[in-house]
Amino acid sequence: MNSPTPLRDSRIDFWRGLCLVDMVLVHLVYQGLSLGQPLTAILGEYTRFAAGGFVFISGLSVGVVFLPRTREPAQRRQTYRWMLQRVGFLLGVHWAAEFSYLLLYPLVTGMPVESYRAALGEILSFQRGGGLLPLYMVMIALSPLFLELVRRGRWWVLALASGGLFAWGQLGENAWGGPTIQNEFRWVLWQLLFVAGLLWGRVLPAWSGLPRGLKARLALLAVSGWALLWTSAYAKDFGLAAPLSLVFWKTPLSTGEALKYLAAVASLMLVSDLAWPRLRHSRLTAFVTRLGRHGLLMYVAHVWVALFLARWTARARLVGAVNTLVALGGLGMLWALAGLFERESPPRPRTWTHRPSWRLTVVGSALVLLILVLDAARLLPVTPPATSAPLALESDEEPPTPLEEVLGEEQAMDEG
């Protein structure tokens, strides 16, 4: 989460940047970037931690940045008000991103939309879309309540409630409670990772003061736990017996997958913290940290970078390991975009025309108007009206879907 604070912990930006790097690589693979084996399996699955890590780091940022402010009576109300305003800003970002996706995705992929007017209504009513932003909005809206519990010393109530809600979500259809839009990141389940991050943010200052030897032992414990869970998740791919009989599902989020996310993030955080005195001055760290300083911008922009690069390589018939250069180029594009954002002119006095919420309103309205005009002019690809098909006398096989026709086979869609 990008927070307006003069004092930033560069470790948090680095950790968030690692999640964004992994997210870009995973989404490039899922958008169809052909890397060949074993790179596709390694980058698309075996090293995947981005989604859980991003949610955890978002909660960590809230705990580190805002919890100290809530302890100051003069800042408490202003802090909670800012967080609620942030929800409105995130809502505008989400809508603007979905409108642009609706406009450009069919033009890029050739996959038409059945009805643009209906799609616009579904986006506005949260029946269409996806990604982490809806979950993030819910978590930020609830964060004042979370912070009040922690501030009053009731962190254990928050921990028990979060764990209990997650356990309830594991029972049957309970996992699917929540907004229709969140097909993958159901808040009933994913809130556990956000709350875990927030509670870890509560103790991060104390962690920084621990003896190095104790830190090393705890880091070793985290890495061992990650290795155990990773082996349990992928043992069958290598013809081995799983040490733990856990289920590793991302949709809906299972207990095994949640633990694997937490172990992966804890390992990366604790190991990099041990090496931070030397790591912090490296060029690679500076590269990753710049991405992490602009998490929201990078999250929205990376969707388009991944889509365009994957489609470009497909049309150029680039396959195999050479596409790792394309993936690195995509990361470079995002890094350059973050640099341009940092070099913007100094902020001007905040009139209503310069507020981010008003800018988003103008952008979103312009996108909606453009979609409606292009739709009325019949310039956007639309699925032809369905006609009744004749009875299949020789075969009951269903015709391929438009997605199967494009990709050539049935695909399971997923995100980092």
Q: Phi and psi dihedrals of 113, rounded to 5?
A: -105, 140
DSSP per residue over 39-88, as a string?
A: HHHIIIIIT--HHHHHHHHHHHHIIIIIHHHHTSHHHHHHHHHHHHHHHH
| pLDDT at site 409 | 43
Q: What's at 80, amino acid-wise? A: Y
Domains in the chain: how many in total? Answer: 1
| pLDDT at site 350 | 57
| pLDDT at site 23 | 94
| pLDDT at site 380 | 84
Q: Is residue 117 part of a domain?
A: yes
| pLDDT at site 393 | 43
Q: Is residue 288 part of a domain?
A: no
| pLDDT at site 387 | 52
| pLDDT at site 178 | 62
| pLDDT at site 407 | 39
Query: In tens digits, what is the pLDDT along the chain, a chain of 416 residues?
Result: 444 444 678 999 999 999 999 999 999 998 888 888 888 999 989 999 999 999 999 999 999 999 999 999 999 999 999 999 999 999 999 998 889 888 888 877 778 888 888 889 888 887 777 788 889 999 999 999 999 999 999 999 999 999 999 999 888 776 666 656 556 788 899 999 999 999 999 999 888 889 999 999 999 999 999 999 999 999 999 998 999 999 999 888 999 999 999 999 999 999 999 999 999 999 999 999 999 999 999 999 998 899 899 889 988 888 888 889 999 999 999 999 999 888 765 555 555 556 677 778 888 888 888 888 888 888 888 876 555 444 444 444 444 443 344 334 443 434 44
CB 256 within 8 A of CB 229: yes
- CA-derived radius of gyration, the chain: 23
Omega into 243 within 30° of 0, i.e. cis?
Answer: no
CB 150 within 8 A of CB 199: yes
Q: Is residue 14 part of a domain?
A: no
Distance CA 80, CA 83 (A): 5
CB 141 within 8 A of CB 84: yes
| pLDDT at site 183 | 63
Q: Is residue 28 part of a domain?
A: no
Q: Is residue 160 part of a domain?
A: yes
Tokens of 42: 């390694």
Q: Which range of residues forms the domain containing residue 61?
A: 49-208+352-383
Task: Of 316, 312, 305, give the one whose Cα is nearest residue 24.
Answer: 305
| pLDDT at site 394 | 44
Task: Of 15, 3, 27, 7, give the one whose Cα is nearest residue 301.
Answer: 27
Strand partners, 382: 113
Task: Of 360, 371, 363, 359, give the one whose Cα is nearest residue 120.
Answer: 371
Distance CA 303, CA 94 (A): 12
Q: Is residue 342 part of a domain?
A: no
Q: Is residue 217 part of a domain?
A: no
Distance CA 306, CA 214 (A): 41
Task: Of 12, 400, 405, 398, give the one whose Cα is nearest residue 205.
Answer: 12
Q: What pTM was computed for the model?
A: 0.86
Helix (H, G, I), strand (E, B) or coil at 113: strand
